[in-house]
Amino acid sequence: MCIHALSAGRCLSVGGALCRIFQRTYCPDRHRHTIFALSSGHGKCGVAVIRTSGPVSGAALLRLTGRKELPQPRRITLSKITDPISGESLDRGLVLWFPGPQSFTGEDCTEFHVHGGPAVTTGVLQALGRLPGLQLAEAGEFTKRAFQNKKLDLTEVEGLGDLIHAETEAQRRQALRQMAGELGQLYNSWSQNLLRMLAHVEAYIDFSEDDNVEEGVLSQVDVAVKLLQNQIKLHLQDSRRGERLRSGIQVVLAGPTNAGKSSLLNTMCQRPAAIVSPVAGTTRDVVEAALNIGGYPVVLSDTAGLRETEDNIEQEGMRRTRERLDQADLVVAVMDSAELSRELSSSDGGSWNIMQGCLKNMIALPSDNSMLQPRPCILALNKVDLLEPTAQERLLVACKDTELIQACLLSCRTGEGLEGFLNLLKENLENMCGNPLVGAPSLTQTRHRLHLTSCLEALARYHHYRDQDLVLAAEELRTAQRHLGKITGKVGAEEILDIIFQDFCIGK
Ligand SMILES: Nc1nc2c(ncn2[C@@H]2O[C@H](COP(=O)(O)OP(=O)(O)OP(=O)(O)O)[C@@H](O)[C@H]2O)c(=O)[nH]1
Ligand SMILES: [K+]
Ligand SMILES: [Mg+2]
């Protein structure tokens, strides 16, 4: 199986530089302006795409192409592109006209597909910038307009952002699904449900005295609220699979000193990221590498080896190891198989018990109790090159006794057993994140989790007020619905909008 290193940073925007060129000033009527930006990547490339969105898009296309009429909507047309003010020819390229509302943003949009050299793209951008009513777009402004014109809900916007940033196949699948609106549809259906319940309760409040409302309306609402509570709880109990897949699965290498943890990290990321040496206690700081393992994004951490020590710095290193273990989604316990084998044959099972105790510590629950099960753990028995085949056999048999642990023998030195280890790792990642295409869509952001939790709290308060004060109970249903609305953006929340759209590049 192949693994790839992932880029550490996200897409850099060149907004600052372009803003300086165009001397943009703040404008309160910004949404009335037509925005433009380079939407393809920056730097030299074969073809670059420049987009505009807003009321003067069509006029801009006519000015730059010198055409009398707009081309057919959504049809590619070859055209010369000139600077309308200097009259200078800039390029021959393809132009597209998307009249609103049938466009990405819902407004009139155009696209110019030009040769990707910096002189051409800068020329076209400058020509656009000199036309009245056109302004350089801010990061995420195209998507923001799509959201404001109800082309996308917030979960779809987040899906689109994740798709642009997706580095592995599993991330891409999850993002595509969210962008297609499945998560939003789920929350909308819950919201509709709540609206119906609320209508029933309000009808009861207003009309029950006139006997116009059927018996049992309230108990039906009670049942429906309980059902929804269960659905939301089930949705929240997903071991954070969607969020993990989005932000990377935390895999921590831990174990005694000199077991070969740093060697394993280096082998997996195919570069000498961590220092390897025969001196016990070499690693002190946590060393991280971002990897794509079988399509799953992994943040792999190498940690300081665990042993008794008087050295202050090493003790601090071990404190960091434990902190990292607390956050781990999956622990790889690395051990020196030769050493373990020697201890096994020289003792009457005592050392085995010690090792089991040490492993149990590693896979214990994290302190916040947010995960209900102990973390999965793989026992990587390293340095198998130093072991006789009979000793290997004996070690594997002994490992079978520890039910919690999946063990495999490997050697960082010879590469033996590495394939098997990686396959075991991938199986674990699959189990943790699932196939993003199968089953109900997962929530992918802490933001979703927070609103869903608040929604659940409001529903619990509904039951609390139900027999005391029906008006207050109805208010709780309204609060619950408002929390669902905040996830999809149906309920305004300007502060979070800005945070979400800032994650986009200029031109998206
Ligand atoms: N024979 C053999 N030696 C190995 C293997 N893997 C690592 N080593 C050696 O074991 C020693 C310790 O390796 P490290 O990777 O530094 O071990 P570590 O667990 O990171 O050690 P600390 O950071 O000190 O906790 C080095 O001399 C490595 O060359 C292996 O598969 N076979
Ligand atoms: K070492
Ligand atoms: Mg090390």
Amino acid letter for position 117: G
319, part of any domain = yes
Q: How far is the CA of 159 from the centre of ligand 3 (A)?
A: 38
Confidence band of 30 (pLDDT split at 50, 70, 90): low
Q: What's the pLDDT at 327?
A: 85
Q: Is 405 in the pocket of ligand 1 (CB under 6 A)?
A: no
CA distance 145 to 354: 61
Mean pLDDT of the chain: 85
CA distance 328 to 251: 6
Q: What's the pLDDT at 314?
A: 94
7, part of any domain = no
Q: Please count the other Cβ atoms lying within 10 Å of the Cβ belonging to residue 230.
A: 10
CA distance 48 to 117: 8
Structural domain including 447 reads 162-238+443-489
91, part of any domain = yes
Asked if the model's pLDDT at residue 291 lies above 50, the reply is yes
Whether the Cβ atoms of residue 268 and residue 287 lie closer than 8 Å to each other? no
Whether the Cβ atoms of residue 53 and residue 145 lie closer than 8 Å to each other? yes
Amino acid letter for position 296: Y
Residue 186: alpha-carbon gap to chain centroid: 19
Question: Phi-psi category of 118—alpha, beta or left, where left has phi over 0 and alpha has psi -120 to 50?
Answer: alpha
Structure-token pair, residue 411: 């050697």
Same-domain pairing of 45 and 181: no
Same-domain pairing of 103 and 168: no
Q: What is the pLDDT of residues 152-169, one digit of tens each?
A: 988 999 998 888 888 888
CA distance 125 to 135: 10
Same-domain pairing of 280 and 388: yes
Q: Is 411 in the pocket of ligand 1 (CB under 6 A)?
A: yes
CA distance 315 to 332: 21
Q: How far is the CA of 283 from the centre of ligand 1 (A)?
A: 11
Q: Is 284 in the pocket of ligand 1 (CB under 6 A)?
A: no
Q: Is 380 in the pocket of ligand 1 (CB under 6 A)?
A: no
Q: How far is the CA of 8 from the centre of ligand 3 (A)?
A: 22
Q: How far is the CA of 335 from the centre of ligand 2 (A)?
A: 12
6, part of any domain = no
State the CATH number of the domain containing residue 289: 3.40.50.300
Give the best-scoring range by mean pLDDT among 445-449, 459-463, 492-496: 459-463
Same-domain pairing of 110 and 228: no
Q: What's the pLDDT at 216?
A: 81
Whether the Cβ atoms of residue 198 and residue 478 lie closer than 8 Å to each other? yes
Counting the structural domains of the chain, the total is 3
Asked if the model's pLDDT at residue 381 lies above 50, the reply is yes
Report cis status (omega within 30 of 0) of the bond before 101: yes
Q: Is 282 in the pocket of ligand 1 (CB under 6 A)?
A: yes
Q: How far is the CA of 399 from the centre of ligand 2 (A)?
A: 25
Q: What's the pLDDT at 56?
A: 95
Q: Which residue's CA lies nearest to atom 9 of ligand 1?
A: 260
State the CATH number of the domain containing residue 82: 3.30.1360.120
Q: Which of 252, 258, 341 to mutate to test the pocket of ligand 1 (most atoms within 8 A of CB)?
A: 258
438, part of any domain = no
Q: Which residues contact 181 (CB under 8 A, 6 or more apart)?
A: 153, 155, 156
Q: Which of 153, 181, 205 lies at the terminal end of a domain, its last residue? A: 153
Q: Which of 175, 177, 162, 90 is nearest to 125 (CA)?
A: 90
| pTM score above 0.90 | no
CA distances from 212 to 135, 203, 319, 469, 505 (A): 59, 9, 67, 20, 57
Q: What's the pLDDT at 231?
A: 94
CA distance 485 to 402: 48
Q: What is the pLDDT of residues 116-146, one digit of tens each?
A: 888 999 999 999 999 999 999 988 899 989 9
Same-domain pairing of 291 and 333: yes
Q: How far is the CA of 427 from the centre of ligand 2 (A)?
A: 29
Asked if the model's pLDDT at residue 223 lies above 60, the reply is yes
Sheet holding 89-98, edge to edge: 77-82, 89-98, 109-115, 47-53, 34-38, 134-136
Same-domain pairing of 247 and 215: no
Q: Which of 307, 303, 306, 332 is nearest to 320 (CA)?
A: 303
Q: How far is the CA of 422 from the centre of ligand 1 (A)?
A: 19
34, part of any domain = yes
Indicate the burial class of 185 (C-beta count within 10 angstroms; 0-12, 13-18, 19 or more): middle
Ligand 1 atom closest to residue 276's alpha carbon, by position in its atom list:
16
Q: How far is the CA of 1 from the centre of ligand 3 (A)?
A: 25
For the CA atoms of 421, 425, 430, 431, the dihedral, rounded to the nearest 10 degrees, stands at 110
Phi, psi of 150 (to 5 degrees): 60, 30
CA distance 208 to 168: 57
How much of the chain is in helix, strand and coil states, percent to nearest 5?
Answer: 50, 15, 35
ipTM value: 0.99
For residue 256, give the ligand nearest its CA.
1
Q: Is 275 in the pocket of ligand 1 (CB under 6 A)?
A: no
Q: Please count the other Cβ atoms lying within 10 Å of the Cβ belonging to residue 241.
A: 20
497, part of any domain = no
Same-domain pairing of 64 and 105: yes
Check residues 496 and 162 and name the one with the higher pLDDT.
162
Q: Is 507 in the pocket of ligand 1 (CB under 6 A)?
A: no
Ligand 1 atom closest to residue 257's alpha carbon, by position in its atom list:
25
SS3 category, 109: strand
Q: Which of 262, 263, 277, 392 to mutate to test the pocket of ligand 1 (most atoms within 8 A of CB)?
A: 263
State the CATH number of the domain containing residue 174: 1.20.120.430
Q: What is the pLDDT of residues 301-341, one digit of tens each?
A: 999 998 889 999 999 999 999 889 888 889 999 999 998 88
Same-domain pairing of 112 and 28: yes
175, part of any domain = yes
Q: Is 277 in the pocket of ligand 1 (CB under 6 A)?
A: yes
CA distances from 119 to 48, 112, 115 (A): 11, 15, 9
Percent of the chain with pLDDT over 70: 83
Neighbours of ion ligand 2 (CB under 5 A): 258, 277, 282
Whether the Cβ atoms of residue 423 and residue 160 lie closer than 8 Å to each other? no
Q: Which residue's CA lies nearest to atom 7 of ligand 1?
A: 260
Percent of the chain with pLDDT over 90: 52
Same-domain pairing of 42 and 106: yes
Pairing mode of beta strands 109-115, 47-53: antiparallel
Asked if the model's pLDDT at residue 87 lies above 80, the reply is yes
Q: What is the pLDDT of residues 13-29, one digit of tens each?
A: 333 333 333 434 445 56
Same-domain pairing of 282 and 138: no
Q: Which residue's CA lies nearest to atom 16 of ligand 1?
A: 276
CA distance 158 to 448: 11
Same-domain pairing of 29 and 133: yes
Same-domain pairing of 55 and 69: yes
Q: What's the pLDDT at 365?
A: 46
